[in-house]
Structure 1
Amino acid sequence: MATEAEPRTGPAGRAAIAQRHLRLDRWWLAPAATVVGLLAFVVYATWRAFANADYYAAPYVSPFYSPCLAESCADMRDGPNWPLFGDWWGLSPALIFLALPLGFRLTCYYYRKAYYRSFWASPPACAVAEPHKAYSGETRFPLILNNSHRYFFYAAAVVALILTYDTVLTFRDSDYAWGHMGLGTLLFTVNIALVWAYTLSCHSCRHIMGGKLKSFSKHPIRYRAWTLVSRLNGHHMGLAWASLASLALSDLYVYLLATDAFTDPRLF
């Protein structure tokens, strides 16, 4: 009576398959698109952060340069210009505050998955073996710094509040009179909505709202907040990309206005 043959196995009990994977789809498209998207933003943001110019066109201030904490900042009347660093800061003022939202995004759970897969191929895709022989997780430098994500969340919330103040100021015209709405106002409003949605959809925010509670029924307000944040959390990836794009577009819009590429169209 014939018996079923035992399956051949390779080292450590793995199947003896010569190929790295058996996937037939274009699995590499997602990590490749992530590399292109993140690199494009990094290159653009680095150029604008070090430019130290063309970041203010009344009443709009670039989100990369707000708040402006150096004495060398442009004259932003009634805007977030607080020269706390005095005149000794010789670099671009964007480098003072930009580290906070950058740290928030670098340690974000979604972005971690994105750059782990795309840049480090750890792993590049589901059912595709990674090329690394050893894995230490986030227990060593620099990846251990990702454990500070919850603290960067608080900093990101402060940044979002400042950008909200900037958005309110865009309802003025170039002479700082209220009752104005230009195309930039609409762009800044969409941007701050996406920034808040991404910030509040953060896993750390979800934990703050509902973490360590043994009974939701005894905390109805926190339960409602947790439910709302949980719904946003389901769209965290999309909000991460949308807010990243809106930040770059808002900065680009201010740059084009500041360089007189065109005049801000007035909606009313």
Structure 2
Amino acid sequence: MATGTEPHSRTGGVRGASRAAITARHLRTDRWWLAPAATATGLLAFVVYSTWRAFANADYYAAPYVSPFYSPCLAENCAPMKGGPNWEIFGSWWGLSPALLILVFPLGFRLTCYYYRKAYYRGFWASPPACAVAEPHRKYTGETRFPLILQNIHRYFFYAALPVAGILTYDTVLTFRDERYEWGHMGLGTLVFLINIVLIWAYTISCHSCRHIIGGRLRHFSRHPVRYRLWGLVGRLNARHMLLAWASLISVALCDFYVHLLATGAFEDPRLF
């Protein structure tokens, strides 16, 4: 005879029959909602800004700076970028913004990132909204069904993010030229690009997939001392993955906005030397 205490009968979460007889949905009295609300606000702000800039199809190049949203430029309708990664492999048939051809890769990398999953699951879907606060959904399937099962391709987006980061590194090197494309220049934009690319690489290699690729399947670290040291380095960065995720997200938006201001003539790039 079932007594209602068997493991199989404990269903329904806070709505289950085995839950303690209290009316409150949780016992937290602090402002637990601030964290998910701030996360949702920050992510939404970036989505709105990046969508506007991706579809703008303008003001993304101011010699020698090219926006990271538009690099590499893969369509014929790209602005002329002397010496930059302007590869017209899509020809003239692509009539939309060239940013839409490249943003899918860094966007897919971030959307499937383990930290960002936690961030937008909590911020937008309240799944769960905070620790010790039950989610409002009656059914939970995790990432076992479409479309969330696609989160499992995160490793492949990591592979795609590596060449993108490499190209942005090349763009950063080109910022040491002046508007006449002569080397030996360093402007405020150069510093903006340098900070951005350092954060981009730090976020990329601190990825959980990178850590697993380097040392996740090794049986004996003693037999692979180089990979062990790399694994330790990535592990230390991985502990700061959340901070790096936000810092790189902000830096890439600021980098694009800086180029936008230069391209629209809002001000001239201050020259440092």
Q: Same fold (TM over 0.5)?
A: yes
Equivalents in 2 of 1:252, 1:129: separation in Å?
A: 39
When the two structures are aligned, how many residues end up with a matched partner? 260
Deviations 1:114-151 (A, max 9, x none): 01111000000000011000001001111011000000
Q: Which of residues 101, 109, 120 in structure 2 aligns to 1:104?
A: 109
Q: Which of residues 78, 84, 88 in structure 2 aligns to 1:83?
A: 88
Equivalents in 2 of 1:11, 1:114: separation in Å?
A: 27
Matching residue's letter, 2:261: L
User: Unaligned regions of 5+ residues in structure 2, if any?
Assistant: 1-13
Equivalents in 1 of 2:272, 2:137: separation in Å?
A: 55
User: Unaligned regions of 5+ residues in structure 1, if any?
Assistant: 1-8
Q: Is the 8 A contact 1:197 1:232 kept in 2?
A: yes
Percent identity among equivalent residues?
Answer: 78
Equivalents in 1 of 2:268, 2:245: separation in Å?
A: 30
Q: Which of residues 172, 176, 191 in structure 2 aligns to 1:171?
A: 176
- TM-score normalised by the chain length of structure 1: 0.96
Q: Does residue 194 in structure 1 map to residue 194 in structure 2?
A: no
**3-state SS of 1:152 partner:** helix
Give how far 1:14 is off.
1.5
Match of 1:264 in 2: 269
Q: Which of residues 220, 227, 243 in structure 2 aligns to 1:238?
A: 243
Deviations 1:76-98 (A, max 9, x none): 00101000000000000000010
Q: Which of residues 252, 256, 262 in structure 2 aligns to 1:251?
A: 256
Question: CA RMSD, aligned part only?
Answer: 1.0
Equivalents in 2 of 1:127, 1:28: separation in Å?
A: 12
Equivalents in 2 of 1:143, 1:214: separation in Å?
A: 31
Give how far 1:10 is off.
7.8
Equivalents in 1 of 2:147, 2:173: separation in Å?
A: 38
Match of 1:6 in 2: none
Matching residue's letter, 1:109: Y
Match of 1:5 in 2: none
Q: Does residue 119 in structure 1 map to residue 124 in structure 2?
A: yes
Equivalents in 1 of 2:250, 2:81: separation in Å?
A: 25
Give how far 1:16 is off.
1.4
Matching residue's letter, 1:114: A
Give how far 1:11 is off.
3.5
- TM-score normalised by the chain length of structure 2: 0.94
Deviations 1:202-250 (A, max 9, x none): 0000001101111100000000000000000000000000000000000
Match of 1:69 in 2: 74
Equivalents in 1 of 2:45, 2:245: separation in Å?
A: 15
Match of 1:144 in 2: 149
Q: Does residue 50 in structure 1 map to residue 55 in structure 2?
A: yes
Equivalents in 2 of 1:16, 1:199: separation in Å?
A: 47
Equivalents in 2 of 1:233, 1:43: separation in Å?
A: 28
Give how far 1:12 is off.
4.0
Match of 1:133 in 2: 138
